[in-house]
Amino acid sequence: MTSHADDKSPNAPLYATARRIYAAAVAVMAITFVVAAVGFVAFLSQVRGVETTPKGRADGIVVLTGGSSRVSDAMELLAAGYGKRLLISGVHPTSGASDISRSLPESQSFFNCCVDLDYSAINTRSNAAETRRWAHERGFKSLIVVTSNYHMPRAIVELSHAMPDVSLIPFAVVGDKWREEPWWTSSGTLRLLLSEYIKYVAAVVRVRLEALGFDLSFEGPDQPAAVSPPRRPATAQAN
């Protein structure tokens, strides 16, 4: 009797609408969580846990500054003949070639012949723009991309969008902390991955919208983030 009376009450349609809205909201939240979780797993599948030598040589090498040992690893690739020249993109305005070369004494000779510094880039998107300018000016059709493993998926998205005519070969730098413990056991590394995943999704969405004709030109500086303390003096801005 009570249930029948409630159905006849003036507020019954309002309650029914509220229940439908609540159910729809729960369903949307559940779907969003599942999609985000699947996307995060797909993102993690692109993050390499070990360093591997490039599959081939390229016209040039570009290193996006900001993480542990990126520049030193890029210099080693240059010394090994994997590229003709090296672009260090995102160098801090107060750092010069002499400052960087002093931190890498074994590679000083290459700074006089084969290394270019980019002071303009402040984030991954501007890294891509400056790299495109450098590669096109020198007629390079292939590049080895050096950056941290967690940053590589977003870097490839930006670089591929900026210069679709250039072949990209990733060289992911793996920090000490990645080697020492699984990422899921470290709250700091997990936060770093989640933060980078959000930036990666934002970059993918922006690139796809721009492909449809939408101009989304603003992007602020990336926040500094490193998995482990740099093994060499910091010389550049972080991505």
* Residue 164 covered by a domain: yes
* Same domain flag for 132 and 70: yes
Query: 73 and 163, same structural domain?
Result: yes
Task: Please give the Cα distance from 30 to 155 (Å, whole number).
Answer: 30
Q: How many domains does the chain have?
A: 2
Say which CATH number the domain at 90 has: 3.40.50.620
Considering the domain boundaries, does residue 27 fall inside one?
yes
**205 and 108 within one domain:** yes
* Type and span of the H or E element at 197: helix 187-211
What local confidence, expressed as pLDDT, does residue 237 receive?
Answer: 45
* Same domain for 123 and 85: yes
pLDDT 10s digits, 57-91: 999 999 999 876 899 999 999 999 999 999 999 99
Can you give the residue range of the structural domain that contains 72? 60-211
Q: Do residues 73 and 35 both lie within one domain?
A: no
Distance CA 66, CA 91 (A): 9
Residues 69 and 107 in one domain: yes
116 in any annotated domain: yes
Beta partners for 196? none
Residue 167 Cα to chain centre, angstroms: 18
- Shared domain check, 126 and 14: no
For residue range 101-155, what is the model confidence (pLDDT) as tens digits?
Answer: 777 767 777 888 899 999 999 999 999 999 999 999 999 999 999 999 999 999 9
Banded pLDDT at 5 (limits 50, 70, 90): very low
Q: Which two tokens stand for residue 10?
A: 């003036």
Q: 20 and 69 in one domain?
A: no
